[in-house]
């Protein structure tokens, strides 16, 4: 049975509220991911017939994709009536197999309780030689916030409770793409350092994005102001810069893979090489 890590109903409500309120910072990461994915779609020398864009309640990414696809369906993890996008669960896509030749996912996979299952679903709805592109937060994203909370809570109560979501590592995601049935899978990452006036400003931005306090086994009730204050002071002490501002790590992992097709490049079968490795290395040394 798949463990429940995230409260996805709460995620949907908070994303919908954040976008409705249009608070500053609510679409910061989405805009960043949308621009990256738009560049990746533009780099593919192909016109797509039918595209599915997941995680695009603002419509920004769909507008980019529309320039390269005849038909674009925009979908998001929102409660009904929260926006113009179709409401879906990306762990159980409500589409027939092979319904699309392009699937693009923007910042939803990091909240999947069943990440392998979500990737399998993306592969299932692709027709042969269809393309999947995704961006998710992973790696050491928010490692500073995690560490500051860990120390602050252990000092105050002698124990800790989960407060910052676990993140997938890029080295694991390539393997998951392969297990999901994608051909030519690629996983790479960009590590960014963001800066804030203080840790409270970082937490405000996470709240504005609807991305705070989503763990299913989070401690019930509000986090006490004394714990927040101690965490912020520790954050400043541990990760503050000389100008008084603090650092926050953001790692964006980009995924790409194709639904298998006979026309695609395939690795050589073991033992089918025409030149022995030892001979090739010897020739290289002699040529140098």
Cα 22–Cα 23–Cα 26 angle in degrees, nearest 5: 85
Kindly give, in sequence order, each residue whose CB lies less than 8 Å from that of residue 49, ignoring residues fewer than 6 positions away. 69, 70, 71, 101
Domains of the chain in sequence order: 8-142+166-198+248-261 (3.40.50.150)
Task: Give me the tens of pLDDT residue by residue for the chain, a chain 288 residues long.
Answer: 677 888 888 888 887 787 777 776 677 888 889 999 999 999 999 999 999 999 887 788 999 999 999 999 998 876 555 455 677 788 889 999 999 999 999 999 998 989 999 999 999 999 999 999 999 999 999 999 999 998 998 887 765 566 677 789 999 999 999 999 999 999 999 999 999 999 999 998 888 887 777 777 666 554 678 989 999 999 999 999 999 999 999 999 999 999 999 887 765 555 555 555 566 555 655 655
Tally the C-alpha atoms within 13 A of residue 199's C-alpha that lie toward its C-beta. Answer: 22
> Residue 135: left if φ>0, alpha if ψ -120 to 50, beta else—which one?
beta
First to last CA, the chain: 57
Which two structure tokens, joined as six digits, stand for 8? 């996805």
Dist. CA 191–CA 177, nearest whole Å: 21
């Amino acid at each position: 049975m798949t463990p429940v890590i995230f409260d996805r109903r709460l995620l949907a409500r908070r994303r919908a509220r954040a976008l409705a309120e249009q608070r500053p910072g609510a679409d910061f990461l989405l805009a960043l991911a949308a621009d990256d994915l738009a560049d990746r779609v533009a780099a593919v020398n192909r016109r797509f017939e039918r595209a599915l864009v997941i995680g695009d309640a603002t419509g920004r990414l769909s507008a980019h994709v529309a320039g390269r696809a005849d038909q674009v369906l925009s979908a998001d993890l929102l409660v009904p009536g929260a926006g113009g996008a179709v409401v879906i669960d990306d762990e159980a896509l409500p589409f027939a197999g092979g319904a699309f030749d392009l699937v693009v996912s923007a910042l939803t996979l990091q909240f999947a309780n069943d990440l392998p299952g979500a990737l399998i679903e993306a592969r299932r709805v692709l027709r042969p030689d269809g393309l999947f592109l995704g961006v998710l937060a992973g790696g050491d994203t928010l490692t500073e916030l995690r560490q500051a909370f860990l120390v602050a809570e252990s000092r105050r109560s002698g124990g800790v409770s989960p407060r910052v979501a676990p993140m997938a590592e890029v080295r694991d995601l390539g393997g998951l793409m392969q297990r999901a049935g994608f051909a030519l899978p690629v996983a790479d990452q960009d590590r960014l350092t963001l800066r804030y006036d203080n840790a409270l400003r970082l937490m405000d931005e996470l709240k504005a994005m609807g991305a705070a306090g989503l763990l299913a086994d989070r401690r019930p009730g509000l986090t006490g102001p004394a714990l927040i204050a101690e965490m912020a002071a520790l954050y400043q002490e541990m990760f503050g810069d000389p100008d008084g501002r603090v650092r926050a790590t953001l790692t964006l992992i980009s995924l790409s893979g194709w639904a298998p097709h006979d026309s695609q490049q395939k690795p050589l079968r073991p033992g089918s090489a025409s030149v022995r490795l030892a001979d090739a290395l010897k020739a290289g040394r002699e040529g140098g």
